[in-house]
Every structure is written in structure tokens, then in C-alpha cells.
Structure 1
Amino acid sequence: MTQNLGTLDRVIRALIGLALVAWALNTQSWLFGALALIPFGTALIGWCPLYLPLRLNTKRV
């Protein structure tokens, strides 16, 4: 699997994941904590499956 997320895209996704975790801790809702796994996971591995059908790639060559 080739990475398709650039550095800025990965940082933004990690920040969104942090915001969702903070929201989950503040509201004591497991749903936001579970949703935080999506941006964290894609930021961690550098690959977004939604970018494939859209033919997007933010990683510089």
C-alpha cells in the first residue's frame, strides 16, 4: 500500500483526532472516541482509502 497523505494532511488528521478524543473525554461519549480512531489511523499509516476512488494524492514525490 503506497502512502497518499502528505505531511500537512497527516498533521491536520492527527489534530482532528485529538479534538475528537478531547470531545469524547469532555462529554463522556464513547462514540467520539471511536470516531477518533479513523483520523488517527490514517495519519499514522499515511494512507487514506477514500483518496483512491477520488484519485487524490497529497504526498510529494
Structure 2
Amino acid sequence: MTLIKNVGKTDRNIRLAAGGVLVFLGIVTNTVLFSIIGLVVLATGAIGTCPAYMPLNINTNKDDKA
């Protein structure tokens, strides 16, 4: 199964930064929920595919390369 890259460069950078902050916040405050959400955001930024974008037909990737 090939995942469509639907996360653009700016979107990926924001996701990576926000995910890192959430994971850090989860570790510092000992809150598992922040850590889990942060890991999901980091993963979607790292792989370039957001499953939530698929049913909504959102694509921030301007390269059109899958």
C-alpha cells in the first residue's frame, strides 16, 4: 500500500516543531496524553502523510510527487 504524500514542506516543519514541543511538554509535566499526541504529530510530519487529511481531500503538498 502506497501512502499519498499530502503534507507539504511548511506543514511538515510545523508538525515536527509542534510534535517536539508536545513530547517535551509531556515528559516535563509527566502527562502521557501530551506525549502520545506529540508522537502522532511527529510521525505524520516525518512520513509526510496525514490520515485525517484523506477523507477531507486536503493536500498541502505542492510537489505533486507521491
Tell me the TM-score normalized by structure 1.
0.88
What is the aligned partner in structure 2 of residue 36 from structure 1?
38
Percentage identity across paired residues of the two chains: 38
Runs (4+) of structure 1 exceeding 2 A deviation are none
Deviations 1:6-53 (A, max 9, x none): 000000001111110121122122221122111111001100011111
- Gaps spanning 5+ residues in structure 2: where? none
Given the two structures, how large is their TM-score scaled by the length of structure 2?
A: 0.83
| Aligned residues: CA RMSD | 1.0
In structure 1, list runs of 5 or more residues that go unmatched.
none
How many residues were matched structurally? 61
